[in-house]
Amino acid sequence: MQERRTSLRDVAQAVGVSVQTVSRVANGEPNVAPEKRELVLAKMRELGYRPNAAARAIRRGSFRTVGVVYHSLHSVGTHRSLEEISERAAESGYATTLMPLAASSGQAANGAFTRLGEMAVDVLIVILPAPFGIDEALQLPEGVPAVILGPPLVDGVATVDFDQDVGARQAVEYLLDLGHQTVHHITGPPGSFSAASRLDAWRAVLAERGRVLPAARPGDWSPGSGYRAMRQLLAEERPTAVFAANDQMALGAYRAIIEAGLRIPQDLSVLGFDDIDEAEMFAPPLTTVRQDWGLLGRESLRVALEMERGAPPEQVRLATQLVLRASTAAPAG
């Protein structure tokens, strides 16, 4: 036979106080004398009493839980943003429930939203890397404030994203201003919001300046793809400047350049995107576009919690910053 769970009434009778007093202590309410609070807490520990979280949530109309849907933790940005969301949520008295996706699709996302709805979360933060097909419209849970980390996908839903276009423009314009006649580009994976935005900005700047538009070299965010793209490029021509869509592909490009007997930046300037922790440790240190992933996490949580308190959805665009280091220079001669 299962042992009966210790109740509020058991604790109240053991201490000799009212059930209401024990309830106030269990819920962390301030209107209990310190001496009496300590007696109640000691008796709770002695009897093994644990507050019923579900019942408390029903009484106050809040589960104090942030739900996060994400596709992969391999991305540096996703990892840092999740870390910031969970830490800041804990500081505000919220737990964080993570719901990974088996696939980056509307169907997979909608299934995750349904499961999170069953787990009872107060707000929802969605970190999805790619767009969905027309027949895969997102169906966010009704009545749950939601924030999407990325460009707007659903009318009336809050979004928080970096100004990808401005950051990529700064990168390409800087290289052209150094005197390079054109800039080659190693792209992110097909379907990525960020990769598409950086690719479009690269093309737009070269067109506006009347420069030759080279063929974009495909990558997938990994150092290996940057290495392969750079090797292929160097086998076909001798560029003077390369803009990699992220720092990890820039690292792979470094290896290909060095293996070809070329020097950075004397023979070839390299510029990345993200400003990962290792960027300043590259040899030479990498010029890149900084994105503050911690700020992205904090802002997404702020918007979500303010919406829980009745605020309208926001569309937040966070600034990027061009960080100049030693991997870029004017072209030789």
- Spatial neighbors of 46 by CB under 8 A, at least 6 apart, are 14
Q: Are 252 and 228 in contact (CB under 8 A)?
A: yes
Q: Are 278 and 76 in contact (CB under 8 A)?
A: no
Amino acid at 208: E
The C-alpha atoms of residue 228 and residue 223 are separated, in whole angstroms, by 9
State the CB neighbour count (10 A cutoff) for residue 313. Answer: 20
Q: Are 116 and 99 in contact (CB under 8 A)?
A: yes
Helix, coil or strand: residue 174 = helix
Strand segments, DSSP code E, in the chain are 65-70, 95-100, 123-127, 146-149, 158-162, 184-186, 241-244, 269-271, 288-290, 315-318, 321-323
**pLDDT by 10s per residue, the chain, length 333:** 445 677 878 888 998 988 888 877 776 666 788 888 888 888 877 887 765 554 544 444 566 889 888 876 767 788 889 999 999 999 988 889 887 775 455 555 555 556 655 556 788 898 876 554 333 456 666 678 889 888 876 677 899 999 999 999 999 999 999 999 999 999 999 888 889 999 999 999 999 999 999 999 999 999 999 999 999 999 999 999 999 999 999 999 999 999 999 999 999 999 999 999 999 999 999 999 999 999 999 999 999 999 988 999 999 999 999 999 999 999 997
The C-alpha atoms of residue 275 and residue 321 are separated, in whole angstroms, by 9
Q: Tokens for 207?
A: 């067109």
For residue 186, which phi and psi values (nearest 5 degrees)? Answer: -105, 120
Look at residues 124, 108, 105, 128 and name the one whose alpha carbon lies nearest to residue 193.
128
Q: pTM of the predicted model, to two decimals?
A: 0.77
The C-alpha atoms of residue 207 and residue 200 are separated, in whole angstroms, by 11
State the CB neighbour count (10 A cutoff) for residue 135. Answer: 7
Peptide bond into 218 cis (omega under 30): no
| DSSP string computed for 81-130 | HHHHHHHHHHHTT-EEEEEE-SSSSHHHHHHHHHHHHHH--SEEEEE--S
